[in-house]
Structure 1
Amino acid sequence: MNLNGIGAIVTGGASGLGNATAKMLAAQGAKVTIFDLNEEIGVAAAQDIGGLFVKVNVADEASAIAGFDAAEAAHGVARVLVNCAGVAPAARVVAKDGSPHSLDVYRKTIEVNLIGTFNMISKFAARVVAAGLEGEEAGVIVNTASVAAYDGQIGQAAYASSKGGVVGLTLTAARDLAQHRIRVVTIAPGIFLTPMLMGLPQAAQDSLGQQVPHPSRLGKPEEYAQMVGAIVANPMLNGEVIRLDGAIRMAPR
Structure 2
Amino acid sequence: MKLDHTVSAVVTGGASGLGAATARALAAKGVKVALFDLQKDKGEALAAEIGGVFCEVNVTSDESVDAGFARARAAHGQERVLVNCAGTANAIKTASRSKEDGTVKHFPLDAFNRIIQINLVGTFRCIAKSAAGMLTLEPCDEFGERGAIVNTASVAAEDGQIGQAAYSASKAGVVGMTLPIARDLMNEGIRVNTILPGIFDTPLMAAAPENLRAALAASVPFPKRFGMPDEYAKVALCMIETSYLNGEDVRLDGAIRMAPR
For residue 238 of structure 1, the aligned residue among 205, 224, 246 is: 246
Q: Which has the larger radius of gyration?
A: 2
Q: Does 1:168 align with 2:176?
A: yes
The equivalences for 1:32-111 within 5 A come to: 32-97=33-98, 98-111=104-117
> What are the Cα deviations for residues 222-245 of structure 1, in whole angstroms up to 9, with x where unaligned?
000010111111001000100000
What is the CA deviation profile of residues 10-36 of structure 1, one whole-angstrom value per residue up to 9, with x for unaligned ones? 000000000000000000110000000
| 2:227 counterpart of 1:219 | yes
Cα distance in 2 for partners of 1:218, 1:76 equals 36
Partners of 1:133 and 1:127 in 2: how far apart? Answer: 13
- Structure 1: any 5+ residue segments left out of the alignment? none
| Mapping of residues 134-173 of structure 1, within 5 Å | 134-135=140-141, 136=143, 137-173=145-181
Q: Distance in 2 between matches of 1:225 and 1:132?
A: 26
Q: Deviations over 1:196-218 (max 9, x none)?
A: 21223444322211100011110
Which residue is equivalent to 1:181? 189
User: Are the counterparts in 1 of residues 137 and 146 from structure 2 also a CA contact under 8 Å?
Assistant: no
Distance in 1 between residues matched to 2:153 and 2:85, nearest whole Å: 9
Q: What residue in structure 2 maps to residue 30 of structure 1?
A: 31
Instruction: State the match for 1:123 in structure 2.
Output: 129
Q: 1:197 aligns with which of 205, 220, 224?
A: 205
Structure 2 residue ranges without an equivalent (≥5): 99-103
Partner of 2:235, secondary structure, is helix
1:69 Cα deviation after fit: 0.6
1:250 paired residue number: 258
CA drift at 1:134 = 4.9
RMSD: 1.0
Mark the CA change 1:157 to 1:250 in structure 2 (over 3 Å): closer, same or farther: same
Deviation at 1:250, TM superposition (A): 1.6
Task: Report the Cα offset of residue 252 of structure 1.
Answer: 1.4
With normalisation by structure 2, the TM-score equals 0.95
SS of equivalent residue, structure 2 residue 97: coil
Q: Count the aligned residue pairs.
A: 253
